[in-house]
């Protein structure tokens, strides 16, 4: 069942998607996933994503909690790139680099929306030159709730060659933000990860996870791994790296043993930026709880960050006449 909880004068709406297993509260402001209510093995219902009490608390500088990120997620080195011999500059908003679509990227835009039986379709037209990006990008994002799973589907076209790299930036804490995610058990089907520099930008170096704290091919407790010594953990102040998948489905699972809650992420995309909320600043979030560093993990499915500079055939390049189509699903289960 989908219903409207609140509608504001500025066009921002709060919507509930609900079935027998989950209630997911979303907004057309940045396609934000504001709340995910699920039960524990003891029958206690908690909200398992970080966020803010009211949609008015979201906006630039909010750490992208729950939002769709674009036109280009992650970093573009020095905020500069070339397409077809033409140079472009986009806003520098993260050290020397461009991050997550710019100053007012998709996270801060009001989308049109249409509600169906179990699906909300969001729509946004990003005009040519918005945040410096070329081409009119026509974007649709579907949120569909079926059983234990939220399906997120992206579709976009452009009238000029451009860049696109979309993700959802939800901050997951399966214990309901009662504590850090150090007790969460993580498994990632990835043999390699991409190295980053001191500013968090991918360098082009691909590292084998074997023998490193980045090896989650077998399930391991986050707190046991994140404190191990590794230069990349030092540079990222924790995990803030793209993990390159070795399978095409069910690539990431997260389990919190006290509650029995489990999240499985499956995607058509080749990798995910795993980010252990290293830079949250403890601002007050929902129910008076602070959004504290290391109290969440983001699983940001996407193509290679800074692909336009690092890949011979950039996976983030969308050609005129082509269609960008990707999907990620989030399955929330209780293990008793």
Could you give the CA distance from residue 305 to residue 74 in angstroms, rounded to a whole number?
A: 6
Determine which helix (DSSP H) or strand (DSSP E) holds 144, and give its type and residue range.
strand 137-146
- Name the active-site residue from 169, 184, 241, 295: 169
CB-based contacts of 187, cutoff 8 Å, min separation 6:
216, 217, 218, 219, 220, 252, 253, 254, 255
Name the DSSP letter for residue 65: T
Q: Could you give the CA distance from residue 12 to residue 67 in angstroms, rounded to a whole number? A: 14
* Distance (Å, whole) CA 228 – CA 279: 19
Rounded to 5 degrees, φ, ψ at 38 are: -145, 160
The whole-angstrom separation of Cα 7 and Cα 149 is 26
Out of 131, 256, 300, 326, pick the active-site residue. 300
**Cα 47 from Cα 3, distance rounded (Å):** 18
Q: Under a CB-based contact definition with an 8 Å cutoff, are residues 99 and 75 in contact?
A: yes
Can you tell me the distance from the alpha carbon of 256 to that of 335, in angstroms, rounded to the nearest whole number?
9
Rounded CA-CA distance 199/210 in Å is 25
The verdict on whether 300 is a catalytic residue reads: yes
230 is catalytic: no
Among all residues, which ones are annotated catalytic? Answer: 169, 300
């Amino acid at each position: 069942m989908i219903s409207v909880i609140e509608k504001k004068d500025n066009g921002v709406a709060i919507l509930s998607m609900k079935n027998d297993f989950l209630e997911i509260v979303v907004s057309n402001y940045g396609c934000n996933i504001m709340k995910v209510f699920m039960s524990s093995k003891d029958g206690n219902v908690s909200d398992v994503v970080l966020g803010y009490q009211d949609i008015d608390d979201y906006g630039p500088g909010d750490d992208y909690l729950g939002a769709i990120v674009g036109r280009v997620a992650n970093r573009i080195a020095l905020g500069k790139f070339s397409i077809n011999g033409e140079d472009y500059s986009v806003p520098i908003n993260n050290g020397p680099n461009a991050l997550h679509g710019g100053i007012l990227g998709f996270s801060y835009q009001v989308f049109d929306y249409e509600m169906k039986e179990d699906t909300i379709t969001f729509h946004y037209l990003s005009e040519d030159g918005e945040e410096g990006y070329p081409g009119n990008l026509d974007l649709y994002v579907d949120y569909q709730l079926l059983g234990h799973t939220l399906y997120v589907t992206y579709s976009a076209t452009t009238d000029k060659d451009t860049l696109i790299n979309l993700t959802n930036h939800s901050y997951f804490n399966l214990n309901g933000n009662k504590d850090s995610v150090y007790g969460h058990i993580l498994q990632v089907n990835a043999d390699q990860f991409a190295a980053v520099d001191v500013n968090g930008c991918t360098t082009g170096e691909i590292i084998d996870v074997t023998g490193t704290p980045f090896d989650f091919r077998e399930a391991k407790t986050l707190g046991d791994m994140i404190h191990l010594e590794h230069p990349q953990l030092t540079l990222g102040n924790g995990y803030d790296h793209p993990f390159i998948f070795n399978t095409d489905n069910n690539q990431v699972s997260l389990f919190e043993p006290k509650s029995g809650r489990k999240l499985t992420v499956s995607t058509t995309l080749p990798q995910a930026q795993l980010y252990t909320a290293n830079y949250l600043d403890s601002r007050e979030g929902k129910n008076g709880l602070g959004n504290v560093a290391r109290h969440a993990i983001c699983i940001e499915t996407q193509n290679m960050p800074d692909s336009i500079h690092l890949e011979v055939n950039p996976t983030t390049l969308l050609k005129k006449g082509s269609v960008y189509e990707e999907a990620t699903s989030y399955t929330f289960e209780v293990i008793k």
